[in-house]
Every structure is written in C-alpha cells, then in structure tokens.
Amino acid sequence: MISLKNKAQISKMRDAGKILYEVEQEVRQAIRPGVTTAQLDILAERLIRKNRAIPSSLHYEGYPCSICASINDEVVHGIPSDRRVLKEGDIISIDCTVLLDGWQADSAFTAGVGTISAEAEKLIRVTEECFWKAMQECVTGKRLGDIGHAVQQHAETNGCTPIREFTGHGIGREMHEDPSVLNYGEPGRGLRLRGGMTLAIEPMISAGDWHLSVDEDGWCARTLDHSLTAHYEHTIAVAEEGLPEILTLPGFSWEA
Ligand code: MF3
Ligand code: CO
Ligand code: CO
C-alpha cells in the first residue's frame, strides 16, 4: 500500500532529513586513512542522539549498528567494525537512516579515502549523476519505470551496471514502505507517480557485474566479481508539479 504524505508530514520528514544531512557531513569529514568503520558508527550514533533522533538501522531486523559502512566491493550493509581500518585508495559507502518524531529519513553517499583511482572517481561521479538523472523523472505523471530506466541508461552508457538485488523504496513512518524503486527498467512502465509520494531514490552501481554474494555475517553484500561499487541516496517528496523536494539536502533548490 502506498501512503501519500500531506504537507505537515513532509515537513516532519524534512526535519529528520536535516539532522541526517548534518550527521552525514560530520561522518564524511571523519573519513581518512587509519579511521575504523566502528569509529564512524560511534560518531554517527552520538550525533543522531544529540539531535534527539533515533538511529533507525540499529536493531532493524537485528542489524547491530547505526550506519552501514561498505568498502570497495561491498555494496550495502557493511557492518562497522573496529577491525576495519580505512586505507588510502579505498572507497566507502555510508548509509544512514534516522527517525525523528515518528518520521524517517534515509540517505547514503560514497567517498574516497585519501587519493583514489581514476576508475573509482568515475564510479562515484556516475553514481551521483544517476541519482540526478532519476530526479528528472520523479515528477507527477511519470512512472517508476522511467526512474529505473534513467538510472540504468546513465550507468550503462558509462560502462557501469546497476545493482538489481537492492532497490529504492517508499519511506515515511517506516524506513521501507511501498513501492520498490528499481534501478533498472523500461520507460512508461510501472506505477504512476503522484504528489505526496515520499521515496528513497538510491542508485547502487557496480563498475563491473551486478551479481552479489552475502558474507557469513548475514548482512554485508558484495559483488561476486569483486568490482567496486558506489551508492548515492536521498529521501525525496514528489511534488504536485515540477521537480521533487530533496528532503535530505536542506536548503537545496532547483533554481540555480
Ligand atoms: N538505509 C538502508 C536503505 O537504504 C537500509 C538499512 S538496512 C539496516 O534502505 F539493516 F541497516 F537497517
Ligand atoms: Co539507506
Ligand atoms: Co533506502
């Protein structure tokens, strides 16, 4: 079931999104060689709670931490650990969800650790571009297939591949609501978008093949061919007219 949100509800999600944005800025600044993913998790949890919000991932279906920290070939759900030390040239995807006053916000980004390869730089850039291509389709009257197609088209044009086993999703009172938002698809197919839909749009892109395996911890998903992957996610609200509001990018406006 898809729940449309009214202005007051979207406003609460915007408040959650602002906190999440600030948390992610702090985590981004802490990324450097020698830092452990556990340190990033502790930093995120402390900032979330300081803002009187709740880290939604912690205990979600048994997940043990407040962020997912996925390095290089790890796509999603990398569990922070004090044995995972970032090293020069790694790329790390940080994915975090916060709950404020009953409303969720979900966002992810990939960053380089120190100097990274040209291939890694390109993958991060293409993944972010996939998100912005998707935004052009998050418009009342367009369909979910238009979003998926936009992501797939941009990834494949650049020699990359969207991940298929994980998707974007509706979001609101719950972290994961209907519908699923695939990162591949056919234009003109699928559910029609409407004002008041709130969605987590999250291209997950591989520099190689999209097939994944899950580690023995039951969480961490990585590419079978060990290709690098990147992730870029924001929570957005479809508008009645025109381009969506990006709830996890406070102050952002489409006017240049
Ligand atoms: N933030 C993730 C998403 O984008 C979900 C987190 S899974 C958890 O959908 F187990 F870490 F909570
Ligand atoms: Co997320
Ligand atoms: Co999400």
pLDDT digits (tens, 9 = 90+) for 134-143: 999 999 999 9
| Ligand 3 midpoint to CA 217 (Å) | 20
Q: Is the CB of 99 under 6 A from ligand 1?
A: no
DSSP state letter for 12: H
Q: Which two tokens stand for residue 69?
A: 């920290």
251 falls within a domain: no
Per-residue pLDDT band for 46 (boundaries 50, 70, 90) equals very high
The per-residue pLDDT for 256 is: 74
**Structural domain boundaries, residue 141:** 7-245
Q: Write down the residue that tokens 């975090």 correspond to.
A: 96
1 falls within a domain: no
- Between CA 42 and CA 99 the distance in angstroms is 17
pTM, two decimals, is 0.98
Instruction: Please choose from 57, 70, 248 the residue to mutate so as to test ligand 1's pocket, defined by most ligand atoms within 8 A of CB.
Output: 57
20 falls within a domain: yes
End-to-end CA distance of the chain: give it in Å, rounded: 36
Q: Which two tokens stand for residue 119?
A: 């291939």
252 falls within a domain: no
For residues 78 and 69, is the Cβ–Cβ distance under 8 A? yes
The per-residue pLDDT for 117 is: 98
Q: Is the CB of 105 under 6 A from ligand 1?
A: no
| Overall average pLDDT of the 14-29 stretch | 99
Domain count, the chain: 1
Asked if omega into 244 is within 30° of 0 (cis), the reply is no
- Between CA 20 and CA 106 the distance in angstroms is 8
Q: Check whether 66 has a pLDDT greater than 80.
A: yes
Residues in the chain: 256
| Overall average pLDDT of the 93-103 stretch | 99
209 falls within a domain: yes
Q: Dump pLDDT digits (tens) for 178-193.
A: 999 999 999 999 999 9
181 falls within a domain: yes
- Between CA 76 and CA 78 the distance in angstroms is 6
Mean pLDDT of the chain: 98
Ligand nearest to the CA of 201: 3
- The protein residue with its alpha carbon nearest to ligand 1, atom 7, reads 57
User: How many other CB atoms sit within 10 Å of the CB of residue 86?
Assistant: 23
205: phi then psi, degrees, rounded to nearest 5: -125, 135
Q: What angle do CA 123, 202, 152 make, to 5 degrees?
A: 60
State whether the Cα torsion 212-129-29-59 is positive or negative.
Answer: negative
The per-residue pLDDT for 186 is: 98
| Ligand 2 midpoint to CA 215 (Å) | 19
Q: Check whether 35 has a pLDDT greater than 80.
A: yes
Percent of the residues in the chain that have a pLDDT greater than 90, as a whole number: 99
Q: Write down the residue that tokens 């279906």 correspond to.
A: 61
Residues in a beta bridge with 221: 76, 214
Sheet with 212-214: list strands edge to edge: 74-76, 221-223, 212-214
Q: Check whether 41 has a pLDDT greater than 80.
A: yes
250 falls within a domain: no
Q: Check whether 59 has a pLDDT greater than 80.
A: yes
Q: Dump pLDDT digits (tens) for 102-137.
A: 999 999 999 999 999 999 999 999 999 999 999 999
- Closest C-alpha to 188, from 150, 156, 142, 148: 142
Rg (CA), the chain: 17
Per-residue pLDDT band for 62 (boundaries 50, 70, 90) equals very high
110 falls within a domain: yes
Q: Is the CB of 63 under 6 A from ligand 1?
A: yes
C-alpha to C-alpha distances, 169 to 21, 96, 181, 202, nearest whole angstrom: 19, 14, 5, 8
| Ligand 2 midpoint to CA 233 (Å) | 6
Domain CATH code at residue 49: 3.90.230.10
Pairing of strands 54-55, 204-206: unpaired
Q: Dump pLDDT digits (tens) for 207-249.
A: 999 999 999 999 999 999 999 999 999 999 999 999 999 999 9
For residues 66 and 24, is the Cβ–Cβ distance under 8 A? no
